[in-house]
């Protein structure tokens, strides 16, 4: 089974979490689809992603919140999404 190495953009935090490629691709696609509508608060991202995944995928995925955070961090490292420099809750957008 193919795996994707997910890193974190936080300085001083090393370590990689490997997740199955199909899980990464499903969550990444849903994140990009969500961000196509514009920036979103990070705390609402999980629900928005959940609305875009079919019930079978959601069931096979496991803990949605954990996967959304893990994939979001790797997408930040890759430069696909970025955090906005705003006061208040963290917001992200597609680059």
pLDDT digits (tens, 9 = 90+) for 41-91: 999 999 999 999 999 999 999 999 999 999 999 999 999 999 999 999 999
User: Per-residue confidence at 14, pLDDT binned at 50, 70, 90?
Assistant: confident
Please count the residues of the chain. Answer: 95
- The CATH code of the domain that includes 19 is 1.10.10
Number of structural domains (the chain) is 1
What is the separation, in whole angstroms, between the first and last Cα of the chain? 30
Look up the pTM and report it: 0.94
Q: Which domain holds residue 48?
A: 3-94
Asked if the model's pLDDT at residue 20 lies above 80, the reply is yes
Q: What was the pLDDT predicted at 15?
A: 79
């Amino acid at each position: 089974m193919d795996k994707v190495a997910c890193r974190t953009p936080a300085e001083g935090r090393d370590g990689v979490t490997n997740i199955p490629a199909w899980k990464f691709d499903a969550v990444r696609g849903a994140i990009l689809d969500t961000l196509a509508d514009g920036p979103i608060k990070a705390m609402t991202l999980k629900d928005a992603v959940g609305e875009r995944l079919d019930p079978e995928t959601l069931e096979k995925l496991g803990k949605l919140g954990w996967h959304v955070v893990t994939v979001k961090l790797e997408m930040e490292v890759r430069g696909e999404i970025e955090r906005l420099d705003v006061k208040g809750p963290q917001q992200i957008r597609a680059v």
